[in-house]
Structure 1
């Protein structure tokens, strides 16, 4: 399916009565929605090219806009809109996609509910989240840390989910290992608000079920911003603390955590490779000696050879996503474009982003530079993985395509690798 065709509202199923006007810059297409429409603008998305939101500003949403249910229906009919805008800009065919990627693209892509809708077949599926946690449990070094935590022994185990999004992995860990001291950190205010709300709901349910043993609820959904002050640990949502801020400046003291997780392709967003090194150094800094980090990242070698240049999928009965993908000129990144179309509205978003395609040598270099030792994985033939310092041809590979219920255009989430490393005790 040609993307230029998909952008034509006459060919997008159920598109509103609209007019396509040729722009004067970059062959831009402007989709004009009739003025009497009740859904001209997507909440959290600016249609003004000079607005800070369209250049990476984070949209704020009230807690009333956030679902407390981690098993969402992914129904776009509930997506909030308002009437403050008259047009949505679609960029048409682009000649230089790399130049279209904003420097801080993640501030917009993860700023509202559209992310949860377009990627919901993976990031909002509790069965996939549980399976990913089970994979973590299958790693000796991780399992030993998780099982060392118990209320009876008095051992405190601290786990940080870095770039935690809506907190799906820490919430799952909280249910499986209630004695863990859990933390989540992410740059998206919207997703952290959602994580706090869901944590509060989980704790409230646990309190009602077992009031004598439940942890007191101290959830505070007021957003806090992270500074360079290591004492700023954000607001507490029961036993889980969530903070908002950049992963290049983690707001915790040295030697704090026993385990750090970086899940769901949340590493490698920066255009400058040096920033990835900064993140890895931050991970090393806040890990305790002997602590473990797990990085769940895109399978770079697989994507270089198998990425789909064009794809599309129906998110539900009313929303379609069309995507284009290109290898960067240096073949180190996959540049992606998402054009989101909603019936009755036409194009509601046209966004560009990129992720770095790591291979084993890249990760070895990053880990060595940060003072972390890569624990390669090998199987015993019984489905069990064991850490070894001997080099192995493959690390843990996760094929999300085999787990997704929608299973259509999975893109960078289709196949990922888990890299496991430890901070030396000496």
Structure 2
């Protein structure tokens, strides 16, 4: 990704954390953010004590891996600043002689990391998506209604998806292969939004297609609660997703490898917003696709929105940073695995007046078209070469056959911040069908 922001190394943006194991809650050190010219000092932020941080179970993390994580203060700090900071540390806890690695797993900031893959929790998504901070750091994409609407419009350009959405109207009864509600005379079209997050796409669909029966499933209790509250509020004309279709939207909490619905339930399964590839092995990703196959009706369609693996490898940048708002910034480091099939990411979130409030690691598998063909075939799904014209197959006399991957550039083209977009910068739609019996 080509970031439009400064790309100063993270260890030059953050102060050396060698004393972060000091037991006293008063122990602190100053960090200085530098401008691109490295000449003007901005407001200092203070690192909280490890005793005040949230604990996290880190896979494969041992204290010995961080002994040499940082051995000197940033070279950009002046000698007077270094002396003042060191004196402050001495005054607040002159008796502290603990190892620099003691309690490191409880630290808010982990300092320089030699083995980033070891810092990624097996279930990193349980913490990354557990609170409001995710909606702030990624909010320029995932909380922008205009971007959400545009992504739904891109979905509508995929003819097999368009056909299913249009089948929910009474005029489509003659050609529909879905259930019919005898009391209303309408087709019952069931759509599952897997890893639905705060429900942005499903609530947009509820507004555009009031006859759809919509289901959202996500592992984050925080995001599902938010989705439910937004669905309830959507009846209001002032709501972003105003719709009378609230009663037809249901949400469940759970792992995407275990979908809580019966076999052959859904006409369409969506997995949007770059939600595929989070697991450590592709076996787990295969398990997700196997579950999707199970809950799809014969002839049902799945549309996956995944990171463009080739784009990420070709445009890889090891670090970037951006201001989230006037008081919060996020610094990011990225590493490609040796086989170039996984991208490990680190986010250090800093708030003025508080210091580092989050230091988190996550990863995503980078799939190309051939990888996806293999995974889909293994799950029993047939990958499609899409006819894309926005009319549906019934409305197009001669639809142009286009490549399977439909690019999603909403982040790059529509983000109001337009800075460090990372994995959201460019994605692809991958579409497959469950063969009819």
Q: CA deviation at 1:379?
A: 5.5
Residue deviations 1:178-199, cap 9 Å, x none? 1110000000000000000000
Runs of 4+ with deviation above 4 angstroms: 17-21, 204-207, 383-388, 390-394
Which position in structure 1 is the counterpart of 2:199?
Answer: 167
Q: CA deviation at 1:395?
A: 1.4
Of the three residues 218, 225, 232, the one matched with 1:193 is: 225
The alignment status of 1:377 with 2:398, answered yes or no, reads: no
Q: CA deviation at 1:307?
A: 1.8
* Cα pair 1:116 1:123 within 8 Å, conserved: yes
Which position in structure 1 is the counterpart of 2:79?
Answer: none
Residue deviations 1:80-102, cap 9 Å, x none? xxxxxxxx521111111111111
Residue deviations 1:105-147, cap 9 Å, x none? 0000000000000000000000000000000011100111001
Unpaired segments of 5 or more residues in structure 1? Answer: 35-47, 55-87, 216-236
The alignment status of 1:265 with 2:240, answered yes or no, reads: no
Could you say what secondary structure the match of 1:238 adopts? Answer: helix
Could you say what secondary structure the match of 1:266 adopts? Answer: coil
The answer to which structure has the higher strand fraction is 1
The alignment status of 1:146 with 2:165, answered yes or no, reads: yes
Question: CA 1:346–1:385 in 2, change beyond 3 Å: closer, same or farther?
Answer: farther
What is the aligned length? Answer: 350
Q: CA deviation at 1:385?
A: 9.1
Which position in structure 2 is the counterpart of 1:10?
Answer: 31
Distance 2:48 2:166 in 1: 60
Bigger Cα displacement from structure 2, 180-189 vs 88-97? 88-97
* Cα pair 1:341 1:347 within 8 Å, conserved: yes
Question: CA 1:406–1:155 in 2, change beyond 3 Å: closer, same or farther?
Answer: same
* Cα pair 2:408 2:429 within 8 Å, conserved: yes
Which position in structure 2 is the counterpart of 1:422?
Answer: 433
Could you say what secondary structure the match of 2:419 adopts? Answer: coil
TM-score (norm 2): 0.73
Distance 1:166 1:413 in 2: 17
Which position in structure 2 is the counterpart of 1:72?
Answer: none
* Cα pair 1:267 1:297 within 8 Å, conserved: yes
Which position in structure 1 is the counterpart of 2:82?
Answer: none
Distance 2:132 2:296 in 1: 32
The alignment status of 1:332 with 2:361, answered yes or no, reads: no
* Cα pair 1:377 1:385 within 8 Å, conserved: no
Unpaired segments of 5 or more residues in structure 2? Answer: 1-7, 16-29, 34-41, 51-62, 71-84, 90-102, 171-183
* Cα pair 1:337 1:353 within 8 Å, conserved: yes
Question: CA 1:417–1:385 in 2, change beyond 3 Å: closer, same or farther?
Answer: farther
Q: CA deviation at 1:17?
A: 4.8
Distance 1:241 1:126 in 2: 20
Could you say what secondary structure the match of 1:249 adopts? Answer: coil
Could you say what secondary structure the match of 1:155 adopts? Answer: strand
Residue deviations 1:305-331, cap 9 Å, x none? 112211000000000000011111221
Distance 2:130 2:157 in 1: 33
Question: CA 1:115–1:362 in 2, change beyond 3 Å: closer, same or farther?
Answer: same
Residue deviations 1:151-209, cap 9 Å, x none? 664110000000000000000000000111000000000000000000000035499xx
* Cα pair 1:378 1:395 within 8 Å, conserved: no
Which position in structure 1 is the counterpart of 2:422?
Answer: 411
Distance 2:247 2:297 in 1: 24
Question: CA 1:328–1:17 in 2, change beyond 3 Å: closer, same or farther?
Answer: closer
Distance 2:427 2:260 in 1: 28
- Structural RMSD (CA): 3.3
Distance 2:109 2:425 in 1: 27
Which position in structure 2 is the counterpart of 1:110?
Answer: 129
Distance 2:117 2:162 in 1: 40
The alignment status of 1:280 with 2:289, answered yes or no, reads: yes
